[in-house]
């Protein structure tokens, strides 16, 4: 197969999108030729059969920095490059896979249909807008991770799980430093990620229950302007609750280094609402790290550990479940970690996922 992939960014050092570098490398194993058009590109190391083409937006995180005419001109330049690439490279691909950004299908769908290119869309998010509705009509096949991560009815839909690079997340229980019980939350600082609930649970455990040997680390950074305002409100709450010594903002960590963050922690918390499957929760499981989630898409966790999934967005419930998992014995913790990793291996392995996508695009 000769495949064209359109994605947001190719950069092994990116904290949010660095995971796609491993996806690209795995796709390359199945393709005679792999062409990637990315909105921006940074550092990458991919096989010789991969050609990366950037639309020119190398700093994805600064997407709100340009305004007015300057922003308009940049968008026109991206658009010109986009059409030039998909036309000039047309003999180098037989099928197209659009990763998350439905607007690429709106822009290129009719051209790809005229060129008889099969069009696939990977989409994992609860949001449904007109762009997604139109892209779904133009696509030949749609891939998603779970029933709740694509919320349009379509006979084109294939629910195929997610893709975690298991070679990166080694099962290593017991690799910890210090005497404090370390709880991490990995993800962009944003209201939708609900880090405030994380801080409220910390307040209950530390200030109300008197538990002092615990540390809460927020791993990630604010990306948008509204995220920055949300982070500032969190900082103020931490100060008001006198939790500066127990709660730390670690900042962004390149995805290639994130496995060490999981392996140095005792518990991972993810408070995204029900919808798309957040990779951070699956990566925690892949590292054998006990996890607590709010997202009901992870309902299967209830069969592995009843304290791994919240009934509602309640700080009191979160604090209670953290307390239970803090008090697991080392053998209990190791056994739980093994069950979590096995679940990811069986259902969310990157190698298996890419095989399913290639199969879906080949039919």
pLDDT in tens, 106-123: 999 999 999 999 999 999
pLDDT in tens, 277-299: 889 999 999 999 999 999 999 99
Question: What's the mean pLDDT in 238-251?
Answer: 97
Residues 6 or more apart whose Cβ sits within 8 Å of residue 215 = 178, 180, 181, 182, 183, 246, 247, 248
Question: Residue 198, SS3?
Answer: helix
Q: What would the two tokens of residue 359 be?
A: 């199969």
Range list of H helices, the chain: 20-28, 68-88, 103-114, 130-138, 195-203, 225-240, 258-263, 279-286, 301-304, 315-326, 330-347, 350-362
pLDDT of residue 311: 94
* Complete edge-to-edge strand list for the sheet that includes strand 267-270: 247-251, 214-219, 181-186, 267-270, 291-293
State how far Cα 273 lies from the chain centre.
14
Could you tell me the pLDDT band of residue 189, with boundaries at 50, 70 and 90? very high
Bridge partners of 215, per DSSP, are: 182
Answer yes or no: are the C-beta atoms of 175 and 362 closer than 8 Å: no
pLDDT of residue 61: 46
* pLDDT(65) > 50: no
* pLDDT(226) > 70: yes
Question: What's the mean pLDDT in 303-325?
Answer: 95
Residue-averaged pLDDT of the chain? 93
Question: Residue 158, SS3?
Answer: strand
* pLDDT(173) > 70: no
- Residue ranges of domains in the chain, CATH in brackets: 2-163+349-362 (3.40.50.2000), 181-347 (3.40.50.2000)
């Amino acid at each position: 197969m000769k495949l064209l992939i359109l994605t947001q960014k190719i950069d092994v050092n990116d904290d949010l999108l660095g995971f796609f570098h491993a996806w690209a490398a795995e796709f390359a194993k199945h393709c005679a030729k792999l062409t990637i058009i990315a909105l921006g590109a940074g550092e990458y190391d991919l096989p010789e059969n991969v050609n990366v083409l950037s639309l020119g937006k190398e700093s994805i995180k600064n997407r709100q920095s340009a305004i007015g005419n300057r922003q308009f001109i940049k968008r026109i330049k991206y658009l010109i490059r986009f059409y030039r690439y998909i036309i000039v490279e047309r003999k180098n691909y037989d099928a197209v896979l659009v990763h998350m950004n439905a607007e690429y299908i709106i822009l290129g769908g009719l051209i790809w249909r005229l060129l008889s290119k099969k069009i696939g869309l990977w989409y994992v998010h609860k949001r449904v807008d007109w762009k997604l509705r139109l892209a779904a009509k133009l696509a030949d096949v749609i891939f998603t991770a779970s029933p709740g991560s694509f919320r349009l009815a379509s006979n084109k839909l294939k629910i195929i799980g997610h893709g975690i690079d298991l070679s990166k997340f080694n099962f290593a229980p017991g690799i910890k430093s210090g005497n404090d019980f370390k709880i991490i939350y990995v993800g962009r600082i944003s209201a939708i990620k609900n880090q405030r609930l994380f801080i409220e649970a910390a307040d209950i455990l530390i200030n109300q229950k008197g538990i002092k040997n615990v540390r809460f680390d927020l791993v990630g950074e604010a990306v948008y302007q509204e995220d920055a305002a949300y982070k500032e409100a969190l900082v103020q709450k931490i100060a008001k609750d006198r939790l500066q010594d127990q709660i730390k903002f670690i900042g962004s960590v390149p995805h290639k280094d994130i496995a060490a963050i999981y392996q140095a922690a005792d518990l991972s918390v993810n408070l995204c609402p029900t919808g798309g499957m957040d990779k951070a929760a699956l990566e925690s499981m892949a590292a054998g790290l006990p996890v607590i989630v709010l997202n009901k898409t992870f309902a299967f966790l209830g069969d592995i550990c009843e304290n791994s999934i919240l009934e509602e967005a309640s700080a009191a419930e979160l604090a209670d479940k953290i307390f239970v998992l803090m008090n697991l014995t080392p053998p209990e913790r190791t056994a739980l970690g093994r069950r979590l990793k096995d679940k990811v291996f069986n259902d969310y392995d990157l190698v298996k996922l890419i095989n399913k996508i290639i199969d879906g695009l080949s039919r």
